[in-house]
Structure 1
Amino acid sequence: MTIDLQLDSRVLIQGVDNPLALAAISRMQTYGTNIIGIVSAGRGGQRLGDLPMFDLVEEVQSRLGPIETSLIFVPAYEVLDAALEAIAAGIPQLVIITRGIPPLDMIRLLRQASMTNTLILGSGSAGIIIPDRLLLGIYQPQLFSPGKVAIVSRNQSLTAEIASELNIANLGQSIVIHIGSDSLVGSSCRLWLEWLQSDHLTEAIVLVGDICWDSEAVTAAYLLAEQGKPVVAYLAGIHASTPHPLTDAAIVLSHTLSKPIYHADTIQQRIKTYKRAKIAVAKKISQIPHLLKKSGQQE
């Protein structure tokens, strides 16, 4: 699976029938993102500002040429069809902004993506930002500044807060990647870490996850084997006295399909796994800049 983040990538938007999509399009265009068109069924032939609208993805490609990335904003129950349509058209990278995709739909989509070598970010992803260079998603660009620290996050609400702490400490961001907040997501933390190992703009990495995120062990094992760039981890909910309740039916189902229901004693096990891999674990967000500087990699 290949990650290709060219600054002039041709970007498609699928779905604009919500304020989030409209606001994101405006921000991305202001940031210089090369959005070439919009797919919205029933609105083909219309325009949204200077962007042409189409009924089908294949119409966009036949009229405007190849597309590198599609951002999907359609309602959750339409995501599978939209994503499969984009994959069938040969689009190599999908960013699924929509949250709450039915778990069985996501499983089917991930199987198809694996067979076609399609990169999927999300579902429930805020996207990617390379400060002052590239915006693919719903971030508020003014919250980020250029630098040498990459953030790979599973918790959207904490990402901007951590970036703010880095900014105050004069540690800007090389890239910010939100791999998705839903239980089932496409591209893994490990995939992005592998890519970041060869990213010349990145000198250190901050991992942000929830206590019910079970990929930490894989992440730590990879870093231990590679002995790569320094990493600081922050686990949201690390101080919780009890596990997060799984009250949403989709979350319960997806956890059942993909892994055992979370148990509280795994928190300390994951922290120990990080420490064995020589990864510093911040107890507070405010500790992250200090731990990065302590690594000796940041000036």
Structure 2
Amino acid sequence: MNLTPDSKVLIQGFSEFISATHIAQMKAYGTNLVAGVNPGSGGEQLYDLPVFDLVEEVVEQFGAIDTTIICVHPYQVLDAALEAIASHIRQIIIISAGVPPLDMVQLLRKAEAGETLIVGPNSPGIIVPGKILLGTQPSEFYTPGPVGIVSRSSTLTYEVAWELTKAGLGQSISVSIGSDAIVGSSFLQWMQILDEDETTEVIVLVGQPGGDSEEAAARYITEAIDKPVVAYIAGRQAPPIKNWRQTGTLATVIGRAPNFGTAQSKLAAFQAADVPVAERPSQIAELLKKAIR
């Protein structure tokens, strides 16, 4: 991973998923945005960035690119990401939401073969407070410190960061892995990254109902994570969703526990792993301070 102010960053696409304000915020934060790619707009200037038709043209002009931020239409994400991988970009952040699941399956197979880290889709990106902002996270909520945050949510990630900042607990890295049905990097990958990161002393995991990624993370914490972890699960009062309209849906749930994917299932998994779970975002800082002591 290369998450430093020297990292060269590219933006692919200028859709509704990113605005001039976000780009200005990244620049003001010191992010080294070198160019944008928007087919048909090559040679233009957009948001004070030189725009190219192809990613390979950017590489020819500026050399190797560390990270690309993809903001194209969901149905164009696969092509944009494959173009980035072909140009040897190893960190891809997908801001766009609603990417077709089969497109993500194809993309992840290609990414695994090339050891490419994919964050998202439907993610506000990554921030290393005081160093680099990659995406649309509001930097004013963050301050440098020892707490690593990994989350499935977007806005809840910012709320947790702000609660920590108000409590005097800065952050080392904050990443939202995305909340589409299929996302790139997982809780497990980021738990390992944060566990190995020298600036991170404690980890906050923010989960939500759906799937079993939090349960897998709880097991992984027990087996492989040495640093203290505090969790928060959103949507505790959300009613369980069951769709029985077609046999295909029925087939996907046969053999699963009745509470699969619910907040209660995730809370039980963290309890079994002896991971403290906050009842509300404002309680996270209190639990972290206990873990640090």
TM-score, scaled to structure 1? 0.89
Deviation of the 1:19 alpha carbon: 6.9
> Which amino acid is 1:24 matched to?
H
Please list, as runs of the form range in 1=range in 2, the aligned pairs for 1:41-56 lying within 5 A after superposition: 41-56=39-54
- 1:164 aligned residue (162, 165, 179): 162
Residue 275 of structure 2 is matched in structure 1 by: 279
Aligned partner letter, 2:112: S
- Of 237, 240, 249 in structure 2, the residue corresponding to residue 243 of structure 1 is 240
Structure 1 residues 63, 236: CA separation in 2 closer, same or farther (over 3 Å shift)? same
**Contact kept? 1:148, 1:172, Cα under 8 Å:** yes
Task: State the shift of 1:260 in Å.
Answer: 4.1
Query: What is the distance in 1 between the residues matched to 2:225 and 2:126?
Result: 25
Fraction of identical pairs, as percent: 48
Deviation digits for residues 74-132 of structure 1 (CA, Å, limit 9, x no counterpart): 01111111111111111111000000001111111111111111110000110001111
Partner of 1:170, secondary structure, is coil
Amino acid at match of 1:243: P
Aligned position for 1:249:
none
SS across alignment from 1:20? coil
Q: Following the alignment from structure 1 to structure 2, what is the Cα–Cα distance between the partners of residues 119 and 106?
A: 13
The question of 1:99 aligning with 2:93 is answered: no
**Residue pair 1:21, 1:73 contacting (<8 A) in 2 also:** no
User: Which stretch of structure 1 is more off in the superposition, 275-284 or 95-104?
Assistant: 275-284
Q: Give the match for residue 216 of structure 1.
A: 214
1:57-68 to structure 2, matched below 5 A, reads 57-68=55-66
- Number of equivalent positions: 285
1:288 aligns with 2:287: no
Structure 1 residue 292: Cα displacement: 1.1
Instruction: Supply the AA of the counterpart residue of 2:79.
Output: D
Output the CA distance in 2 between the equivalents of 1:10 and 1:227. Answer: 31
Structure 1 unaligned blocks of 5 or more: 247-251
Partner secondary structure for residue 109 of structure 2: helix
Kindly provide the amino acid, as one letter, of the partner of residue 61 in structure 1. Answer: V
Q: Give yes or no for contact 2:17–2:96 (8 Å, CA) kept in 1.
A: no
Q: Find the aligned partners of 2:136 and 2:240 in 1 and give their Cα distance.
A: 29
| Matched AA of 2:21 | A
Taking only aligned residues, the RMSD between alpha carbons, in angstroms, comes to 2.1
Q: Does 1:35 align with 2:33?
A: yes
Structure 1 residues 35 and 200, CA gap change in structure 2 (3 angstroms): same
Q: Equivalents in 2 of 1:124, 1:215: separation in Å?
A: 16
| Alpha-carbon distance between aligned partners in 2 of 1:157 and 1:277, rounded to the nearest angstrom | 27
Q: State how far apart, in whole Å, the 2-side matches of 1:49 and 1:125 are.
A: 22
Q: 1:227 to 1:59 in 2, by over 3 A?
A: closer
Query: Which residue pairs with 2:259 in the alignment?
Result: 265
Matches within 5 A, 1:55-204: 55-204=53-202
Deviation, structure 1 residue 289: 1.1
Amino acid at match of 2:111: A
* Distance in 1 of aligned mates of 2:225 and 2:137: 31
| Counterpart Cα distance in 2 of 1:148 and 1:48 | 36
Deviation digits for residues 180-208 of structure 1, max 9, x if unmatched? 11110001111111111121111111111
